[in-house]
Amino acid sequence: MYGQNLTRAAHFVSDVLGPRLIADTGQWGTYAWSELLLATPALRILGGTEEIMKNILAERVLGLPKEVRP
């Protein structure tokens, strides 16, 4: 959920700021958002892919049968 929320926040900020997101205009806080936007994909990968996490929760927490792999 953390990765999804960061991605949503980064996309929202990029829609609001537009080109000012990556241009250093000198205004406080505008250029700092580009770091979040660029780091978001790495944070999602770092936390494990969502599908793997969903499978782990389904198998270990909910007790569902393991996924059949070909």
What b-and-e string marks burial along 31-42, b requiring 16 or more CB atoms within 10 Å of the CB? bebbebbeebee
Reported as a pLDDT band with limits 50, 70 and 90, residue 47 is low
CB-side neighbour CA atoms (13 Å) of 10: 19
Tens of pLDDT, residues 20-36: 777 777 777 666 777 77
| Alpha helix ranges (H) inside 1-70 | 2-17, 33-46, 50-56
pTM here is 0.52
The pLDDT value given to residue 61: 92
Reported as a pLDDT band with limits 50, 70 and 90, residue 18 is confident
Is residue 27 within 8 A of residue 54, CB to CB? The reply is no
Quote the CA–CA distance of 11 and 38 in Å, as a whole number. 11
Tens of pLDDT, residues 51-65: 788 888 889 999 988
